[in-house]
Chains A and B, each alone.
Chain A
Amino acid sequence: MLKKKDRHSILIDDHELVYYRCGQGEPLMLVHGITTYSFIWRMVVPYLNDNFELIVVDLLGCGDSDKSIDVEFSLKNHAKILAKFLEALHVSKVHLVGHDVGGGICQIMSVRYPENILSLSLLNTVAYDFWPVQPIITMRTPIIRQLAMASLDLGAFRFIVKRGLYHTERLNKELMDYFWYPMRSSDGRKAFLYFSHCLNNQDLLEISDDLRRLQIPVLIIRGDKDVYLSQQIAEKLHKNIQTSRLVHVPSAGHFIQEDEPELIAQFLLTFLLR
């Protein structure tokens, strides 16, 4: 669980960034993806905070962080803001763990600031140009369009979340409340849509060569039941990055932290503490 006593906020470029900081050890930053925020890590954190100092961040426009859309929410800019954020926290060396588009941000940080990154772990991550045009089989509607509709309708949003889970029976009111929380205000909806609007394949395509040259250890975790992101992404990353390991989790969907929190924590600990 993320505890209120661990909650902090900091101004980066005049925008408030909310984060949780807890645990002892080498710094490890957990970066969420789109449609989620820090809450997605709440069940993973207890397994890691004995060995690492965890930094769980709400990206701009998400969770409790600033919702104003006068800054670009592109992955590139998020990476830049997070680098400034770590600098402000005086964290010079950090392990990165990213989920979904958070994985994309972490990839950019790894190639832009290689001297500061100790390792990179990617959970159901985006990469290259395999997203966000992945069609939804039933509706043939681009995922961004579906996200747009979902921002207006709890039912549609619930549908998206449910499709992202392997253990669909775990989708209770509490979990749905976590997901829906930013959509309750017009500002939250606007920031969310702006975020998806700013997503651009180009950001990740242009670092594909740099990724090949990565020297730090890389862990790729793939939930086999993720219907939103293609299996090819994980495979291509693993093929291109020499230092990478690929792990499959058969019993996990897109929101892998909800499906198998203990399992992925064990994978992370094995990878990071070796």
Chain B
Amino acid sequence: MDDRKNKIRVLEDRVKILEEENNALSNRVEEMLLLNLINESFESITDETVLLQSVLEKISILKNITYCACYDYSSGKCICIVQYCALLNIEPCQGALLFSNELIEEFNHEPIIRFKVKQRPDAFNFVHTDNLFEPNEFLALTFHTRILEKGVFVFISNGNSAATFSTDLHPFHQIIQIVVEKWDRLCLLNELQKLNHELEDRVKSRTKELQQSEEKYRQLFNVANDAIFLWEIVNEEMIGCIELNDAAHKLTGYSLDELATINPFMLIDDKYSEKEKRILEKKFLKPSSIYKATIKGKYKPISLEVHTRRFSLLNRELILAICRDISEQQAYERSIVEARNKAVESEKLKSAFLANMSHEIRTPMNAIVGFSELLGQDKMSENEVKMYSDIIFKNSMHLLNLINDIVDYSKIEAEQVHIYNEAININELISELSINMISMLHNASKNHIDVLTHTPLNNSASVILTDGTRLRQVLSNLINNAIKFTDKGFIEIGYKVKEAFLEFFVRDTGIGIEKEHQEKVFERFVQLRNEQAVNVGGTGLGLAICSNLVEKMKGKMCLSSNSGKGSTFYFTIPYVVND
């Protein structure tokens, strides 16, 4: 019986030992599970409050500790950061726990404070209404993190439950270490994030400023009236255009794409010789230069004034070329030169005219003055008087003609000549003029010269609408010239019908006009002189006046002549039959 009892006792002891071992093992498992759970739950947490809440809840549940909290005592007072109370309903239970100053002071010196609440009833005051919670044992573990200088974890077990803290605080230290590490990591992450944000903000604002600045310069670049190009050079080799403004595109017609791989020298106009081209290229590559050049635009050659400047930017060798279109300026310059030349020429002609006029006017005036004086002498025969007065008359007429011509031409110059169309029978006009011509030839002692007329239209078709006075003036002038320069042969006047025009002509067999002078004769103040020709007088205005009048009558005047054989003057006027 004793033996049996002994056996039972041994077995019971054995069971007890095994149970204890089992309990120790299950405690280990529990702790591992706790650490595992805490570590696992950390992964998704980004906020230390959430971190603490989660940790404290897990400690409370798994270690069966009713009250778990984390306090900040840096300021000398205890401020609750997070707390979990398994038996209190309101969460967080702010102000539930009030520490005595003595206890807070103790936190500063002791890393671990542990006592039975009954032994130190004044250490803290727990404000609660629930009698489920009877504080039993108090455990405080201080810690610090990067941002929390003085922190303390507080655990209070429940007296109603049998559980008290185990003597081995290793698991608590482990958990706290994990929490602090994670907390620090969170802080660092937050700081990093904050720095990141600040940096991003700064980058953003700088980027914005830069963009604005770039936009400003881009606009300045584009609104410039002058064409601006930026060319890149590498080892003195032109790479191409890397930038051009709107004005450059407008001026040349080229886009940036078209110029990106083009050597600017290829744009130099082909009118330049190779040597000239080399000079322009050299100028372009100088540190700075100003020159004029014509380039091949996309659609037409363009004259430019080019300002270049060579510089380095961010290790790139660049040439800035600012070009201004000077086509208009050049045209303007040309027109000014032309106008000046014209003015000089005109001035010359006027001086020649004045010299001529003074001669032309003085000669008949001398005659008039001289013979008038002779008329005043006492002893004069009747023949003499007659002769002198004839001379005076002739010279006065000549002077009068001269003055008439000048007046006419001045009128033409001043645009005061008007054309008045009326019905004129040109056959009659030719006939009248031929009769006059015969009398003039007689007066000029040139009776041997024959007068011919050519009037192909019958009388009814020969009445046309034109300015009769001007037509007569032109023909008379031509006839006078013919008489002046013809000594033998004939003078023929007449017209031909040429489609919608009538072509009048005056043909003579006089001295003729040399080819090189034929164009000049219609210019004003031009009188041809050669050795054979005697001075026949005249203003040099006659043909200029005629030519102008014909133009006014919407016609043209021209001449064909062989020197020594005679001349034919033609002019047209519109053939408008008077119905």
Contact = CB atoms under 8 A, between A and B. Distances in A.
Contacts of A265: none
B86 A194 contact: yes
B37 A193 contact: no
A193 B65 CA distance: 12
A148 B33 contact: no
Interface in B1-34: 19, 22-23, 26, 29-30, 33
Contacts of A145: 30, 64
B86 A190 contact: yes
B29 A70 contact: no
A197 B86 contact: yes
At the interface, is chain B mostly helix, strand, loop or mixed? helix
Interface stretch (A30-38, A88-96, A149-157, A207-215): A149-157
A186 interface: yes
B86 A193 contact: yes
Given A69-B89, A149-B33, A186-B91, A193 B130 contact: no
Contacts of A193: 61, 86
A69 B86 CA distance: 9
Nearest to B158: A197
A141 interface: yes
B352 interface: no
Nearest to A191: B89
B72 interface: no
Nearest to B63: A148
A69 B19 contact: no
Contact of B61 (A69, A139, A140, A149): A149
B61 A148 contact: yes
B57 A189 contact: yes
- Interface size on B, as a range, is 20 to 34
Nearest to A147: B61
Interface string A68-82: 111010000000000
A68 B90 CA distance: 8
B62 interface: yes
Give the interface centre of A68, A153, A190 by most chain B CB atoms within 10 Å. Answer: A190
Contact of B26 (A68, A140, A189, A197): A140
A145 B163 CA distance: 12
A152 B89 contact: no
A4 to B, nearest CB: 29
A186 B89 contact: no
A117 to B, nearest CB: 30
A89 B37 CA distance: 44
12 contacts: A68-B89, A70-B89, A140-B19, A141-B26, A145-B30, A148-B61, A152-B37, A186-B57, A186-B91, A193-B61, A194-B86, A197-B87
A152 B87 contact: no
Interface string B224-252: 00000000000000000000000000000
B86 to A, nearest CB: 6
Given A151-B61, A190-B86, A197-B132, 8 more contacts: A68-B89, A69-B88, A140-B22, A149-B30, A149-B33, A189-B57, A193-B86, A194-B86
B62 A152 contact: yes
B472 interface: no
A70 B87 CA distance: 8
A149 B64 CA distance: 10
A148 B89 contact: no
Interface string A17-59: 0000000000000000000000000000000000000000000
B87 A189 contact: no
B307 interface: no
Nearest to A186: B57
Nearest to B85: A190
Contacts of A197: 86-87, 132
Lowest 3 A-B CB distances belong to which pairs? A140-B22, A70-B89, A69-B89
B466 to A, nearest CB: 116
B2 to A, nearest CB: 31
Interface in B68-102: 86-89, 91
B349 to A, nearest CB: 115
Interface in A120-147: 139-141, 145
A67 to B, nearest CB: 9
A72 B37 CA distance: 29
A148 B62 contact: yes
Contacts of B86: 190, 193-194, 197
A70 B130 contact: yes
Contacts of B29: 139
A151 B60 CA distance: 12
B283 interface: no
A154 B33 CA distance: 13
Nearest to A187: B91
B49 to A, nearest CB: 13
Interface string A186-210: 1001100110010000000000000
A152 B61 contact: yes
Nearest to B57: A186
Nearest to B36: A153
A149 B87 CA distance: 17
A186 to B, nearest CB: 7
A186 B49 CA distance: 14
Given A140-B19, A152-B37, A194 B62 contact: no
A210 B227 CA distance: 111
Contacts of B89: 68-70
B60 to A, nearest CB: 9
A153 B61 CA distance: 12
B58 interface: yes
A166 to B, nearest CB: 26
B64 A148 contact: yes
Contacts of B30: 141, 145, 149
Nearest to B18: A140
Contacts of A72: 132
A153 B39 CA distance: 13
Interface string B120-146: 000000000010100000000000000
A72 B19 CA distance: 33
B57 A149 contact: no
B84 to A, nearest CB: 9
Nearest to B161: A197
Contact of B37 (A68, A153, A189): A153
A193 B66 CA distance: 11
Interface string B352-366: 000000000000000
A153 B40 CA distance: 10
Contacts of A151: 61
Interface in B419-448: none
A194 B85 CA distance: 11
B97 to A, nearest CB: 18
A197 B33 CA distance: 21
A68 B88 CA distance: 9
Contacts of A190: 86, 91
B130 A189 contact: no
A46 B379 CA distance: 175
Contacts of A186: 53, 57, 91
B50 to A, nearest CB: 11
Contacts of B61: 148-149, 151-152, 189, 193
A179 B37 CA distance: 20
A37 B205 CA distance: 58
Nearest to B19: A140
B93 to A, nearest CB: 12
Contacts of B23: 140
A231 to B, nearest CB: 22
A72 B133 CA distance: 12
A152 B58 contact: yes
Interface string B328-358: 0000000000000000000000000000000
